[in-house]
Amino acid sequence: MIDASDQSKDGMTTAASARDVLAVNGLEVVYNRAVRAVNGISISVQAGEIVALLGPNGAGKTTTLRAIGGFASHENARIAAGTVVFNGRDVTRLRPERRARLGIGIVPESGKIFERLSVGEHISAMSSWSDRQTVEQVLSMFPRLRERSAKLAGLLSGGERQMLAIAMTLSLRPSVLLIDELSLGLGPKVVDELLEKLLQIRASQQVAVLLVEQNVDKALEVADRCYMIAGGQIVTTAPAAELRGRPDVWSLLLGQDIGHHAQ
Amino acid sequence: MLTSFVLPALLLAGLYALISLAWVAIFQATGAFNLATGSFILLGPYLVQEFATQRGLPLLLAIPIALFLSAAAGVLTYQLMLRPLAGRPLLAPIIVTLGVSITINALVQIFWGAGSRPITDPKVMGVLLLSEGRQVPILNLVAIAASFAFVLGVLALTRFTRLGILMRASAENVLRAEQMGIGIHRMASLGWGIAALAAALAGLTYAFQNLASPDLALLGFKGLAPAMLGGFQSPGGALIGSLVVALLETGAVWIWGGSVREVVPFVVLLVILLVRPQGLFGKPTYLRV
Amino acid sequence: MQPMTTERPAALHASTSPLRTAALPMLALAAVGISIPTVFPVGIVNEAAVVLLAVGAALGLQMLTGLAGQLSLGSAALMAVGAFTVGVTNSVAPGIPFVVLPLWAGIVGAAVGFLVGLPALRLRGFYLIIATLALHYIVLFVLQRVQESGPGVVGYIVQRPDLVADDVRWYYVLLAVALAVTVLTAGYKVSATGRAWQMMAHNEIAAEAMGIDIRRMKLQAFVLSSFLTALVGGLGAYTIGVVTYESYPLGLAISYIASIIIAGLGTTSATWLGAAFVIWIPLWVTRLLGAYGSVQNASVNAQIGVLIFGVSIIGFMMFAPGGLNALIATAWRRAISWVRVTR
């Protein structure tokens, strides 16, 4: 049974449980002092969960993610209201560097890596902000990166870039992994491979994952729970199992036809 | 040939290598076009003069102190003035550094007057005697070696050390570096400190040959030509650019006499901008325009 | 492409009558300008004359940099071109009437501006300003050679005709010219060309998408601005009485950039304040220190003035990027609303 949304505008959801790695309460984000891109969103993610944030373009998913990571201001956006609580600690006002060190890892859109550095240099950099053991662990999950060690990161294929981006963030030993549009611009086989890795990661590291995705179908394959977002607000939240393979329901909830993703 | 062409060209190349490094390092670190480069060049020799001649410290002590203070000036400029301006358009840091340059130049003239002062006797380290009674002050040779050593050292730092990798990462994509928990402001400060240090060394090199005078600030702009030739993308390109421009300038002086010295680098600069703005090694994309 | 300022250019805001809002300050400036010789001694009048020249040059720069967004350090070189045109022409053809020469200087300047503008079409921001920097040194080098092959170190002597030989009369001539240039700039600002310039400065790609011919606009800006700057340079030759290349260091161009920043990019009347600030602050600091301070000699005092000037540039850029114009406008609005509230 899909339960229709009962999230009130001020966003205070049912009490955040102690097992929440991440809890966002009543988040409101405003662009350029005019556009309210996020209008009262509350999300919770527990350890070891994969939670998907789904919705059409411009719904506010990426903005939410950036606000959690602390990067809203880079896009001239401001958190107007609400809090971000990480492991019980209010991080809403913390600088992004601090959040990264606390364990909020973000993998931005389009696999952002350092194009002018070689893969090997990325690995070396990872060793500087982490320990050998962790880096080894991460690399063993992405053996292809080691093979590409000498290559300039800018010359990697789309899937490899994404892998490197994830590896970079993983090396920080995050407790929560924020992933923005993993599948963007990648072919289905590559996306499947990456999602496989996600499951591996969840299994081996008990990392909580918050996944922002336009590709509803793929996201639901790996997610435990999902939130559907449209127009800056949460339309509904449900276990992924209930929504899998039901594009008619997605369209109903989101008010538009996104069924074409389900191929 | 040696004393009239090769050595002057090498000295000049070393000088330009340091100055162009100062421009490129800051541009790489923070995307800023630091108009105060000339002032950092100016500061070095005057500080040495102050500590060595006025206060009687040995040169070996005065120089490191002066270099340290210059580097500190660079870091302070970044922390106090550039860092708060992050996100403002290109014109803002240019004008602010312009203000810094005017301020530093004025301070120098207030404390030390407008005249020129010798720092030390060029022959202080002795001379190398060549055939036909020609002499080469050893100080010159040391200066050449020190300039190239510094630049190559910085190059090695950025290319081969972990710190250098972090610096390059931070320079390329500040946002991503921040997400990785890299201290971007520390990296930027390091870039500015290195740049100011390079500039101060350049000033010393020049002043040892000649005099410490307010004209040193002009040197900063001449150093743009090698930086531009190298493409403003890497210190390595700037090094090669320095050799080329130094050769051209020394050659031109050899042919036409000393009066053309001031204008040659600017002609080179103009030609580069008109023909190939990205320089020899840069990518043909707009740099933070 | 980054915009020049964070605020949208003033003229792009919907406004009832831009000329009317500009007229009031201009009248005020005219009134003040006219009254200066009646209140102050000739020494101050001469300084005011220098300020007026700076206003003219700064307004020329406002057109190029403030409105059209083309960063340029070439104003000193253009002033020199104008002055040298007057000096050289005067020495080879002394019969030419006085009125013609500054205009002729302007035309030569415009030609230089055109030649510079053509290749500059391809350069933007950072590259453009370096190119103008290089040009400054090259032009000055050439002019130095010209001077050395002619009158030598003493430079070209230029004399004003008897009609305007009196300093106060000359001051009024300059005042008229400055006001004319101000009206011209204000007129351009609201004209189609001016709006095109500002849109171009804000975002070249978007402007092109709207059908604006970027190349023509840029060239126009270069030519017009160069004409005005060189014209002012020519007038400057008559003001000083002698033309030497040493009067036009890069610092002069920098002071004009500073004037327009302090005034506010793209402003017209406020530019007067910017120019006055840049010329008079160092002078007055020097005087005050000389009179009351314990500081040593005149040259040090002058440098302290320059120091304050440098710090002001930093201060404005960091804390008041809209310049004096924005500060005054804000103060005026607050004053008006305070008056309304206390009625």
Domain boundaries, given as residue ranges, for chain C:
17-249
Tens of pLDDT, residue by residue over C258-280, are: 889 889 888 888 999 999 988 88
- Structural domain of residue A101, as residue ranges? 20-110+174-261
pLDDT of res. C2: 42
Query: In whole angstroms, what is the distance from residue B279 CA to residue B274 CA?
Result: 10
Phi, psi of C26, deg, nearest 5: -65, -40
> From the CA of C140, how many Å to the nearest CA of chain B?
9
Domain count along chain A: 1
CA distances from C58 to A77, A131, C106, C133 (A): 37, 58, 15, 17
Give the end-to-end CA distance of chain B in Å, rounded to a whole number: 44
Residue type, A147: E
pLDDT of res. C109: 95
Contact across the interface for A125 and B183, Cβ inside 8 Å: no
Query: In whole angstroms, what is the distance from residue B130 CA to residue B114 CA?
Result: 37
Nearest partner of C69 among B90, B24, A198, judged by Cα: B90
pLDDT of res. A15: 44
Q: What is this structure's pTM?
A: 0.83
Q: Tell me the chain C residues in contact with residue B107 when contact means C-beta distances shorter than 8 Å.
A: 307
DSSP A169: H
Confidence of residue B84 (pLDDT cuts 50, 70, 90): confident
| CB neighbourhood size of B78 (10 A) | 25
Nearest partner of C109 among C136, C78, C132, judged by Cα: C78
Tens of pLDDT, residue by residue over A156-165, are: 888 888 889 9
| Token output for C86 | 């007057």
Question: Residues C2-21: what's their mean pLDDT?
Answer: 49
Q: Tell me the chain C residues in contact with residue B289 when contact means C-beta distances shorter than 8 Å.
A: 1-2, 124-127
The enclosing H or E element of B16 equals helix B7-30
Domain for residue A13, yes or no?
A: no
Torsion, Cα C34 C36 C42 C48, to 10 degrees, reads -90
* Sign of the Cα pseudo-torsion (C331, C333, C336, C340, in order): negative
What is the biggest distance separating any 2 CA atoms in chain C, rounded to whole angstroms? Answer: 71
What is the domain-level CATH number for residue A36? Answer: 3.40.50.300
Domain for residue A41, yes or no?
A: yes
Q: Looking at this predicted complex, what is its ipTM? A: 0.87
Query: In whole angstroms, what is the distance from residue B237 CA to residue B227 CA?
Result: 7
Give the residues across from A179 on adjacent strands. Answer: A107, A211
pLDDT of res. C6: 44
Tens of pLDDT, residue by residue over A218-230, are: 888 888 888 888 8
Q: Is the predicted pLDDT of residue A5 greater than 50, yes or no?
A: no
Subunits with 3+ C-beta pairs closer than 8 A to B: A, C
Q: Tell me the chain B residues in contact with residue C141 when contact means C-beta distances shorter than 8 Å.
A: 262-263
pLDDT of res. A11: 37
Percent of chain A with pLDDT over 70: 87
Torsion, Cα B149 B79 C253 C221, to 10 degrees, reads 110
pLDDT of res. B195: 94
Domain boundaries, given as residue ranges, for chain B:
2-213
Tell me the residue length of chain A. 263
Task: Judge whether C262 is closer than 8 Å to chain B, CB to CB.
Answer: no
Nearest partner of B79 among B155, B164, B153, B187, judged by Cα: B187
Confidence of residue B132 (pLDDT cuts 50, 70, 90): low
Q: Tell me the chain B residues in contact with residue A128 when contact means C-beta distances shorter than 8 Å.
A: 162, 165-166
Q: Is the predicted pLDDT of residue A10 greater than 50, yes or no?
A: no
> From the CA of B165, how many Å to the nearest CA of chain C?
26
| CB neighbourhood size of B203 (10 A) | 32
| Token output for A241 | 């199992």
Subunits with 3+ C-beta pairs closer than 8 A to C: B
| Three-state DSSP state, A179 | strand
Percent of chain B with pLDDT over 90: 31
pLDDT of res. A14: 43
- The per-residue DSSP string of B61-76 comes to HHHHHHHHHHHHHHHH
Give residues 214 to 233 of B whose Cβ lies within 8 Å of C.
Answer: 221, 224, 228
> From the CA of C268, how many Å to the nearest CA of chain B?
20
CA distances from C216 to B68, C210, C222 (A): 50, 14, 10
Question: Residues C169-183: what's their mean pLDDT?
Answer: 92
Question: Residues A95-101: what's their mean pLDDT?
Answer: 81
Task: Judge whether B76 is closer than 8 Å to chain C, CB to CB.
Answer: no
Confidence of residue A263 (pLDDT cuts 50, 70, 90): very low
Give the residues across from A53 on adjacent strands. Answer: A212, A227
Tell me the residue length of chain B. 289
